[in-house]
């Protein structure tokens, strides 16, 4: 039968071993090589903790990103679809307008329908469409490119490195005063109610957002337009500030027509013709 005393005695040997082991451990850790192991082990543990926590954070972020990417690709396909539809509608509009114009001309030229009055209205129509910027204009002119200072990344650009609405407005005004016959900014025809609004790195021209570089095309006497640009101090100043400013004469420019009839309707609805000026 074992007494508690026997139990203690039987434990004596392992206890001694344990004590010896602990002493050896202590000696080991107090020795130089022990210190190395402790140091390296601590470093490993710290690194492991950091690694695990960032990996976990990243996994969460990756999940959010994939959700965002899904949304983006969905929006992109929606956009593609709408753009295709837009093109289709534009082509259709062009075709319908051509048919209508042909028919109107044919009917009015048959004097039985309208006579001299019809002729006069047809002539006025040609003039009015030109002065309303509603006809495409082809011919020689100038092509001016205005871009942000080189090295500017989207979103990180300092304001003084960017091309602003004021810069475009000034260049456009300059070209008008040099007798430009028609002007477009990034292919967007300027009309009587055209405005330029800065919107972060992009500029709203008419109803469409445009991004740098801005390409301003203007038909007119190339020599006169060129001379006006050469003499402009503001353009030179922008150039000196590192912005991308260059221009050259172009022989065969095509300035697109402004044909948004719905817009013309809404932007004149408050105005009525005065009987006598």
Partner 1 sequence: MKRQSRPARLVILLLCIVIGVLVALQFKNVSEASRAKVADTASADELRDFVIDLQLANAELAEQNNRLRDNLRALQGEQEGDNVALNQVMAENRQLEIFAGLVAVEGPGAHITIVDGKNAKVDHNHLLTFVNFLRAGNAQGIAINGERLVAMSEILTTGSFPDQQIVINGNIVSASDGIYTIRVIGDPEQIASTYSLLGSYVSNLLVKGIGVSLEKVETVQLPALGKESPAYRFGLLTADD
Span 10-69, contacts to partner 1 by CB under 8 A: 31-34, 36-37, 40-41, 43-44, 47-48, 50-51, 54-55, 57-58, 61-62, 65, 68-69
**Residue 247 and residue 144 in contact, taking contact as beta carbons nearer than 8 Å:** yes
Cα 212 to chain centroid distance, Å, stands at 8
Q: Which of 20, 90, 223, 230 contacts partner 1 by CB under 8 A?
A: 90
Q: Note whether 205 binds partner 1 by CB under 8 A.
A: no
Q: Which of 76, 111, 230, 241 contacts partner 1 by CB under 8 A?
A: 76
Q: Note whether 104 binds partner 1 by CB under 8 A.
A: yes
DSSP-assigned letter for residue 159: G
The C-alpha angle 231, 221, 170, rounded to 5 degrees, equals 45
Q: Which of 15, 197, 227, 249 contacts partner 1 by CB under 8 A?
A: 197
Q: Please identify, using beta-carbon distances, which residue of 20 and 113 lies nearer to partner 1.
A: 113
CB of 158 to partner 1, least distance (A): 19
Residue closest to 216 by CA, chosen among 194, 237, 240: 194
How many angstroms separate the CA atoms of 77 and 28, rounded? 67
Q: 183-206 as b/e, with b when 16 or more CB fall inside 10 Å?
A: bbbbebbbbeebebebeebebebb
Q: Please identify, using beta-carbon distances, which residue of 13 and 271 lies nearer to partner 1.
A: 271
Q: Note whether 190 binds partner 1 by CB under 8 A.
A: yes
Contact stretch for partner 1 (CB under 8 A) within 14-22, 142-150, 156-164, 182-190:
182-190
Task: Output the six-digit token pair for 241.
Answer: 């500030």
Q: Note whether 232 binds partner 1 by CB under 8 A.
A: no
Q: Note whether 188 binds partner 1 by CB under 8 A.
A: no
Q: Which residues pair with 247 in a beta bridge?
A: 144
Q: Note whether 231 binds partner 1 by CB under 8 A.
A: no
Q: Note whether 237 binds partner 1 by CB under 8 A.
A: no
Query: What's phi and psi for 10, nearest 5 deg?
Result: -65, -25
Half-sphere exposure of 237 (CA within 13 A, CB side): 8
Contact stretch for partner 1 (CB under 8 A) within 9-17, 114-122, 143-151, 242-250:
114-122
**Residue 107 and residue 113 in contact, taking contact as beta carbons nearer than 8 Å:** yes
β-strands 196-199, 202-205: how paired?
antiparallel
Q: Note whether 194 binds partner 1 by CB under 8 A.
A: yes
Q: Which of 26, 85, 111, 239 contacts partner 1 by CB under 8 A?
A: 85
Contact stretch for partner 1 (CB under 8 A) within 1-9, 11-19, 240-248, 255-263:
255-263
How many angstroms separate the CA atoms of 202 and 164, rounded? 9
CB of 227 to partner 1, least distance (A): 15
Q: How far is CA 86 from CA 58, 64, 89, 164, 189, in A?
A: 40, 32, 5, 29, 18
Site residues for partner 1, 142-181, by CB under 8 A, read: 165-166, 169-170, 173, 176-177, 179-181
**Residue 238 and residue 245 in contact, taking contact as beta carbons nearer than 8 Å:** yes
Q: Note whether 137 binds partner 1 by CB under 8 A.
A: yes
Task: Output the six-digit token pair for 128.
Answer: 């009015």
Q: Which of 79, 227, 231, 249 contacts partner 1 by CB under 8 A?
A: 79
């Amino acid at each position: 039968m074992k007494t508690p005393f026997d139990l203690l005695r039987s434990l004596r040997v392992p206890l001694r071993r344990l004590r010896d082991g602990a002493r050896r451990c202590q000696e080991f850790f107090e020795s130089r090589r022990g210190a190395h192991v402790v140091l390296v082990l601590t470093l490993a543990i710290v690194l492991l903790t950091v690694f695990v926590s960032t990996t976990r954070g990243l996994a969460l972020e990756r999940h959010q990103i994939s959700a965002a990417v899904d949304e983006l690709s969905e929006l992109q396909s929606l956009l593609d679809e709408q753009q295709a539809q837009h093109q289709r509608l534009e082509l259709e509009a062009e075709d319908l307008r051509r048919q209508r114009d042909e028919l109107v001309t044919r009917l009015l030229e048959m004097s039985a329908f309208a006579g001299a009055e019809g002729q006069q209205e047809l002539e006025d129509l040609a003039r009015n469409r030109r002065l309303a910027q509603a006809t495409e204009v082809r011919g020689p002119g100038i092509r001016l490119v205005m871009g942000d200072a080189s090295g500017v990344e989207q979103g990180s650009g300092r304001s003084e490195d960017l091309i602003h609405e004021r810069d475009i407005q000034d260049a456009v005004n300059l070209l008008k005063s040099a007798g430009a016959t028609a002007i477009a900014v990034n292919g967007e025809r300027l009309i009587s109610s055209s405005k330029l609004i800065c919107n972060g790195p992009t500029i709203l021209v008419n109803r469409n957002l445009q991004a740098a570089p801005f390409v301003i095309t203007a038909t007119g006497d190339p020599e006169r337009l060129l001379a006006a640009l050469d003499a402009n101090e503001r353009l030179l100043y922008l150039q000196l500030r590192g912005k991308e400013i260059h221009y050259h004469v172009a022989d065969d420019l095509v300035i697109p027509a402004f044909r948004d009839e719905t817009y013309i309707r809404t932007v004149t609805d408050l105005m009525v013709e005065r009987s006598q000026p």
